[in-house]
Amino acid sequence: MIQPAAVHMVLPGNDPSWTGTGIHVDRGDRVTLLGSGRITWSASHWGGPKYHLWGRVPGGDVFGCTQDTTTVVVDRSGPLQLCVYLGAWADRSGTLTPMTCADGCGSPGCDPGSLAVTVLHWPRGVDPVDGLAALPPGIADPRLADAERRRLLHPVVPPAGWSYLLAAGPADVYRHALADGRPVIEVLCDDDAGAIEKDVDIVLGNDTIIEWSWRVEALPGRVGENTAWTHDLLGIAAVFAAGPEANGRPEPSINWFWSTTLQPGDDAFDCPVPGWTETHVPVRRGPAGLGRWRRESRAVQADHERFIGPAPARIRSLRLVAVSHFGHGTGRATFRDIVVRTGGKRIQVL
């Protein structure tokens, strides 16, 4: 079997600039990234390649890893580049809006960590599943090669009509499934973060209700979710269309979530993670009820007026949000029967 071109790189954790791999790709080529290492966020927090390792061909869209490994079909011809994601994407082409570390990472005495990456550029006609199984010794870490081969053989299929947000990147968090013959979305957030979104464009009125059923089996965090370093949670969010008064600011949203310790309703808080304009409203607390189906109903306009301010005219989209990488835990849940009722209409979202 023809072997892939292979390049080994180390990307320092304090340098978010795009770095050339020395590999030229043609549109439609397949490339595998095998990553290891950690990027330090603070003295006691870090993330791995599945959050921080991204690639692109200039002029095309950025792509990230769903695990510590990934295989992609490139969308442009040109030089393949990699970077360490440090901040937030300003656009899909890879312009970064930097953010600073709360504990001063990157300053003298702070070790920012690094990512070690093996890049495999597959010849046309070679299936990466077969190629990964036939790699000669020394080309790549066999554990990472095996992990990527298993990922390709057993892909996590996201629900149709929902897409991952660029801010958190792609993931294997959400899976389309059936339960009792009905469509559901299974959530497995294992030391990861991901948000999927579905456009709805619904007029918001005083009778607008969002309803959903969920079976939460494991909460991703262990303490209150209202600090930047403990912000591990599972929830569903409504994103509101920003009016002209927003003047370019991000669209507001409400995320209803199941808290570990916070009081439902009373302990609502603004998102502590920089760059997010989300208000988090706990609707349940603690372990009681975990593992059983629960039906929720929220008056959207009333919640907006109570927790944010005067309500806008429309709901632009709905999101599912899962975060567990701050405390490196695991969240598990299943969502079904997501409905919005407004103006005498019943809109089935899932």
| CATH of residue 144 | 2.60.120.430
For residue 60, is it within any domain? yes
| Claim to verify: residue 146 and residue 264 sit in the same structural domain | no
**Burial, 131: exposed, middle or buried (Cβ in 10 Å; 0-12, 13-18, 19+)?**
buried
For the cut 50, the answer to whether the pLDDT of residue 206 exceeds it is yes
Per DSSP, the three-state class of 245 is helix
Question: Rounded to whole angstroms, what are the CA distances from 99 to 42, 106, 322?
Answer: 13, 12, 21
Question: Which region holds residue 326: left if phi is over 0, alpha if psi is between -120 and 50, else beta?
Answer: alpha
For the cut 80, the answer to whether the pLDDT of residue 229 exceeds it is yes
Top-confidence residue, 157 or 81:
81
Q: Model confidence over 266-304: pLDDT tens digits?
A: 899 999 988 788 999 999 999 999 999 999 999 999 999
Predicted pLDDT of residue 247: 45
For residue 63, is it within any domain? yes
Q: List the single range of 221-230, 235-244, 263-272, 293-302 with lowest mean pLDDT.
A: 235-244
b (16+ CB within 10 A) / e for 298-325:
bebbebbeebbeebbeebbbbbbbbbbb
Domain of 25, in residue numbers: 5-153
The one-character DSSP state at 273 is: S
Q: Tell me the two tokens of residue 113.
A: 């960590």
Question: How would you write 131-186 as a 3-class SS string?
Answer: HHHCCCCCCCCHHHHHHHHHHHHCCCCCCCCCEECCCCCCCCCEEEEEECCEEEEE
Residue ending a domain, choose from 112, 132, 153: 153
Rounded CA-CA distance 250/278 in Å is 9
Number of separate domains in the chain: 2
Residue ending a domain, choose from 153, 184, 219: 153
For residue 158, is it within any domain? no
Residue ending a domain, choose from 94, 128, 153: 153
Q: Model confidence over 80-108: pLDDT tens digits?
A: 999 999 878 888 888 887 665 444 444 44
Mean pLDDT of 193-202: 95
| Claim to verify: residue 140 and residue 171 sit in the same structural domain | no
Yes or no: say if 277 and 190 are a contact pair by the CB < 8 Å rule.
no
The one-character DSSP state at 2 is: P
